[in-house]
Amino acid sequence: MGSGIAQVAASAGHPTILFDSNPAMLEKSKTELNKTLSRLLEKSKITKEESDTIIQNIRYANSMSEMGSCKLIVEAILEDLSVKQQVVKELEEIVGDECILASNTSSLSITSIAGAARIPSRIIGLHFFNPAPLMPLVEIIPGLATNPDLLPEVKRLMLDWKKSPVFVKDTPGFIVNRVARPYYGESIRIYEERWNDLPEGPTGFATIDWAMKEFGGFRMGPFELMDMIGNDINFTVTETVWKQFFHDPKFKPSLTQKRLVEAKRFGKKSGQGYYNYIQEDKFPEPFRNEHLGKKIKDRVLAMLINEAVDAVYLNVASCEDIDLAMTKGVNYPKGLLKWCDEWGASNVLAVLEDLHREYSEERYRPSVLLRRMAKEKSLFYQ
């Protein structure tokens, strides 16, 4: 991720320093970047001059002290609060007081990271999505102590980097990793209970994937997407969001996915996850039942929309930024709030109330805002 962000900055014409405490990883980053640029050059995506300029704009540093003159530093290290706080402390011993310190964290609180800083007002979140050079979305997250004047400055910079920036409150999961949780969690739940006679095993996974693509228009189904992301990563994000929301049942992790992680069935990178990638010729065919497929799509989509509506209700981000984040960050076919307008808040509410009556679980509680909108027949976009 750090290499990708460096490539983005260098491509925008900024002199960039790439540092890693592990020299082997730094050398690997240099090799991988050269390979990436060679591929782009072969496909005529960039010119030889552009490739040379990007390479010249990146300097590989063996010591953190070489970043003393930087005006912006983006850390993209492991998701460990104590480690990030320690890095902030070390950086503040090196850089000037005007240097902006940004974290690429996907799940940790910016306010918590800034708690270790001498100047917490310069700490901000810049959450890029992988791969950073290709994915346009960047979530901009101010902490409680972040200087408000940094927000327009950082947004202008992200636009210069040809990114699609959105502002989001410092809450667990921010926009994308919060709102997208039902796509995975509710799909696993449907499989676990063999809902409406869903087939067992890989055919069941394939049927849910087929339903979300065929009737929802999603580019990837939830199980193939979890396998691509990595079940270890996906489970960790879910567990982190769940814990940070004080074990809210909406975000409860799945034992099914936990067992896959324990068995090291991470997905494509390990050769096996929900699907077996070693035996590609045995990739399962879905059970193509239109009635079942539409019911699966409605259940998962209602949960997604409910979470997006609740994010508006709790002032996590604006309607426009939430929809932009979901289309640019995870390639949803349309914004969930726009989808709510098209489907109708009353119809979304009806699906959730049916689930709530059936299960009597807080997991299916409708957002207060969704109830109000259904009652008033109001829309997010007029």
Residues 118 and 254 in one domain: no
The predicted-structure confidence for 324-345, as pLDDT tens digits, reads as follows: 999 999 999 999 999 999 999 9
**Residues 225, 331: contact at Cβ < 8 Å?**
no
Structure tokens, 133: 């050079």
Last residue of one domain, picked from the residues 142, 170, 198: 170
Residues 186 and 73 in one domain: no
Residues 98 and 195 in one domain: no
Measuring CA to CA, which residue among 174, 171, 172, 154 is closest to residue 163?
154
Residue ranges in the chain whose pLDDT is less than 70: 280-281
Residues 231 and 121 in one domain: no
Give the CATH number, domain containing residue 78.
Answer: 3.40.50.720
Q: Please name the helix (run of DSSP H) or strand (run of DSSP E) that holds residue 308, with its range, or none.
A: helix 290-313
The pLDDT score that the predictor gives to residue 315 is 98
Last residue of one domain, picked from the residues 123, 142, 170: 170
Residues 290 and 340 in one domain: yes
Contacts of 327 (CB under 8 A, 6+ apart): 333, 334, 335
Residues 74 and 116 in one domain: yes
Catalytically active residues, by annotation? 106, 127, 139, 177
Question: Given phi > 0 = left and psi -120 to 50 = alpha, else beta, which region is 218?
Answer: beta
The pLDDT score that the predictor gives to residue 96 is 96
Residues 117 and 240 in one domain: no
Our count of domains for the chain comes to: 2
Give the CATH number, domain containing residue 329.
Answer: 1.10.1040.50
Residues 209 and 143 in one domain: no
Between CA 54 and CA 48 the distance in angstroms is 10
Between CA 45 and CA 377 the distance in angstroms is 47
- The most distant pair of C-alpha atoms in the chain lies apart, rounded to whole Å, by 63
Residues 15 and 113 in one domain: yes
The pLDDT score that the predictor gives to residue 281 is 64
**Residues 160, 303: contact at Cβ < 8 Å?**
no
Measuring CA to CA, which residue among 32, 84, 88, 97 is closest to residue 60?
32
Strand-pair partners of 363: none
Residues 109 and 210 in one domain: no
Between CA 367 and CA 308 the distance in angstroms is 9
Between CA 167 and CA 128 the distance in angstroms is 13
Domain containing 59 equals 2-170
The predicted-structure confidence for 1-44, as pLDDT tens digits, reads as follows: 999 999 999 999 999 999 999 999 999 999 999 999 999 999 99
Last residue of one domain, picked from the residues 153, 170, 187: 170
The pLDDT score that the predictor gives to residue 382 is 85
**Residues 172, 107: contact at Cβ < 8 Å?**
yes
Q: Is 59 strand, coil or helix? A: strand
* Cβ count within 10 A of residue 379: 14
Residues 352 and 276 in one domain: yes
